[in-house]
Amino acid sequence: ELRDRVISAEAEALTGQALVDYVNANQQFFKTKLNHRYAGMTEERKRKMINGLAQSIEHLAAELDKEGRVTHNVLAADIPEFFDAREAWPKCPSIGFIRDQSTCGACWAFGTAEVISDRMCISSGGSQQFNISADDLLACCGFQCGMGKVANPTHFLRTCQSGYPLTYLQDKHFGKSAYGLSTKVLDIQTEIMLNGPVVAPFSVYEDFEQYSSGVYVHNGGKYIGGHAVKVIGWGTENGTPYWLAVNSWNSDWGENGLFRIIRGTNEVGFEEGIVAGLPK
């Protein structure tokens, strides 16, 4: 089974074009190509850019277990085979908007800002359309462009710009609740169907960095760090179940900025640390 597969030390040691060639030749789930975004970049700089989580997926999962996870009482028969939040809420274009964190290693802020933007729009029936600032989350949580986790916002009192009618604090949007989700696929699917996209932290290996299309299943390359993305749906391709997610590496990466990853096996920790929140 995929869950129990073992990746050889030789495959883990591969990098660059050798890794791309190996992955494309040894499995049929997804395709890779050399990502020129990272060409010539030192390992230290690459890790600072990609490794945006200040805690391991295992540590985050343990915290969520301690705090208690949200579950939903739903039957598998109530879940459709395919779901795409962009189609479910067409009045909310932010759901499909692709951001670019560039060299700022703050995926946690980008993913969270995206989910907050989407859920505000969804809960308001499309009347509240904002692109919540990832930079503001960086400022309020004190991590800047580095590893972090979403914390309670710090209140700053200042005016945004000359002539702007609201103070900075008056213009901020706060949520009603934040919570971790059950690791069960049905609970995650139900949460997305009811309330909108969720944030998924996971472990990134170099073969994900080189992903270009298909359903991702880790096959080789070294561990780079923790990353977080927005999950907007799911589906099945050639019998393989997958999650549909939005990355923050621009639209020239992956499938026009999105990717699919195998569903139901907790691939690279994808299902054990999912978090969400509700707007006021």
Q: Catalytic residue at 59?
A: no
Name the catalytic one among 104, 107, 121, 141: 107
Question: Under 8 Å CB-to-CB from 101, ≥6 apart: which residues?
Answer: 49, 52, 107, 110, 134, 248, 249
Q: Catalytic residue at 173?
A: no
Q: Catalytic residue at 24?
A: no
Where in the sequence numbering do the catalytic residues fall? 107, 227, 247
